[in-house]
Structure 1
């Protein structure tokens, strides 16, 4: 089985963090979002992952090396494809046309999930869904009495279903998907100037392809700062029984309230950390109270009372502040 991961977007809603790193590589509880995503897909799959194809922008060699390592960590080879223009979801997936063969999972890298189902690899197609309170904000699916998807409805203003599409799809026949995407591009089938995956899905359904839902337990968004901090909280809760404090960390005259992730060579002095805090490698936290926050690598926090915050890499902050959203290499004293 192959996993196709479109991740070329600029992540504007996650700035300033995405000015220096692609959103899917922002760490959640010590692991990049995209790493957690492919690991969860591997867990629900009955088959080994043969290849992960990443569709990226011009992110540089360091990012490509990180993606290679993520694929190799689950025993898969990796491929890199480039989307140079933002021309829609169908166009993004088609950029990896050479990898669209055999059994394929397409997973957009701005969401995480938890599921207890096992993927039915013999189904024509499975679309991951989650019940939501306000379906009008999402694309949703309608089901018939045999639990088959009959319709895809984009942001319905009147209630038709509360099963939202979360952005993860399985196709038994990747070549079929590739053919439908090619049809959209060849015939310039666009909506608001973009090629949409839902048009390909509709064409496939009309030709007799059977779509089934795969309902997840929880769908976690990483679209903006508050959503990402909440996702960090939920992931830490799911892993609260794991060892999340690295042995090389130093905790002096401090309290760590679990669940927290404390990375390699972190120093915590005279502080209270947690719950729901992730601290990246090499960061120093002193004389500080921090909760429900993500702090990345090699930063320095001193004399803070901090919550519901995201702090980037190589940040130096001192002073009494309550909530922050600070990108890499920031420095200030209050």
Structure 2
């Protein structure tokens, strides 16, 4: 059996602050195979972006600390959690690319687009500048930029938001990485441009067979692109499975809440959209039991006292919720989600 391209085990990341230690990521584990799209979803502050940036070792240390026992194995041999900065410079941009949330703040305003795209190519591939510039022009054409040669001479402020995001995608693909991490790649864009960027990323993934980790809270984007999904809450994975399992057979109340907050066009019922009441817990002092218990309408006494392990639903579909225990009371999935919501 082939090894996964990326294997994350028991990843724990904390931030040491004056007031104490913020446990931002608490024992996250997942795998990504070659050519696969994994979506990581959850509310703001659940640990998605810290997880993604830790994979690239971009979280400043101090104040961040990758805890002992955390493991991030890339391509079957590189233990990223223990790599030095000089070792990471070979991996970062070359083997793993990243698309950031806001291209305006991620691109250098003092450098031309061409200089920024060729910087990584010149560093990692040791080619002549003319070859790197030709590659940059090819990449801009690949991501759907018109007049690619002229765009290389422009600065970020001369481009629209959608064009800057295309530049970010071109930049992340410059060295032909095996894995692409997209952190909220469509957040700052309008709906029409969002759809274009999603189509572009899906097209590139199919053409290049690049694996993608998609960090988002937009379940519409997930439905368009992902093969597998992990749902995060309060720094932990609470449910994992295939796209169909998470969308049509979810088994965690938090996943139900996320799905009920999204409008559906395939429902034959007049189902009201619902928000999840309450707020996420303070990760300075995480709760003893299930972190979602205070907001969960189905919480039981055991939920307040013991943090549940992942219960296997079927195959690789698991959910960390006591409702999946054989002795738990049977709870019907809320109206408006699951296969029963289809018209």
Q: Is the structural similarity TM-score above 0.5?
A: no
Question: Higher relative contact order by CA 8 Å / sep ≥ 6: 1 or 2?
Answer: 2
TM superposition score normalised by structure 2: 0.31
**Larger proportion of helix:** 2
TM-score under structure 1 normalisation?
0.32
In terms of fraction of residues, the more strand-rich structure is 1
